[in-house]
Amino acid sequence: MTSLQKIVTAIETFCTDHYQVQKFGADFVEQLPNFATQDEKYPIIFVVPTGATEGEIVKTLTLDIYCLDIIQKGRENIITILSDTELILDDLYLNLATGDDWTYDVTSATKTPLNNDLLDYCAGWVMSIDIQGQIHCETEIPKA
């Protein structure tokens, strides 16, 4: 069965194992950390659930996955940020699409660059990804 918890756990494991990713989070987009805070470590991966579509025997979860880093004051590192954060999302996509878990499939993914997102000197990419899995009813429906 494909659940949001299962997918988020798979992404968190990827982030823990990836040598570039310094922080992971998952919540609503309004809960993205404040990048103006000096004590945070970057780049960060942040997962935001944006929808679910139910089919007859499958459901599709749609997630926005942000990969962001801090822009230097003179923007000297903007191309490095855009390159590195996109490559990290490429790694994540391949990990989810070709991993050992056969209970779900990545059906599509698109990436959009972000410049000074949230007005707090961060840049990177957001990947909108659709993950499809079978629906199984493992519990009995409560009866009145």
CATH number of the structural domain spanning residue 60: 3.30.2000.30
Cα–Cα nearest to 127, from 54, 67, 82 = 67
CA distance 72 to 51: 34
- Summarize the confidence of residues 47-58 as an average pLDDT: 92
Query: 95 lies in which domain range?
Result: 4-134
Report the mean per-residue pLDDT for the chain. Answer: 89
Query: How many domains does one find in the chain?
Result: 1
More confident call, 67 vs 56: 67
Torsion of CA 103, 88, 5, 30, to 10 degrees: -140
Q: Is the dihedral of CA 95, 50, 34, 110 positive or negative?
A: positive
What pLDDT score was predicted for residue 15? 97
In a domain, 57, yes or no: yes
In a domain, 81, yes or no: yes
pLDDT band with cut points at 50, 70 and 90 for residue 49: very high
In a domain, 141, yes or no: no
pLDDT tens-digit profile of 8-21? 999 999 999 999 99
pLDDT tens-digit profile of 95-143? 999 988 888 999 999 999 999 766 678 899 999 999 998 776 655 566 5
In a domain, 82, yes or no: yes
In a domain, 139, yes or no: no
In a domain, 143, yes or no: no
In a domain, 41, yes or no: yes
What pLDDT score was predicted for residue 139? 59
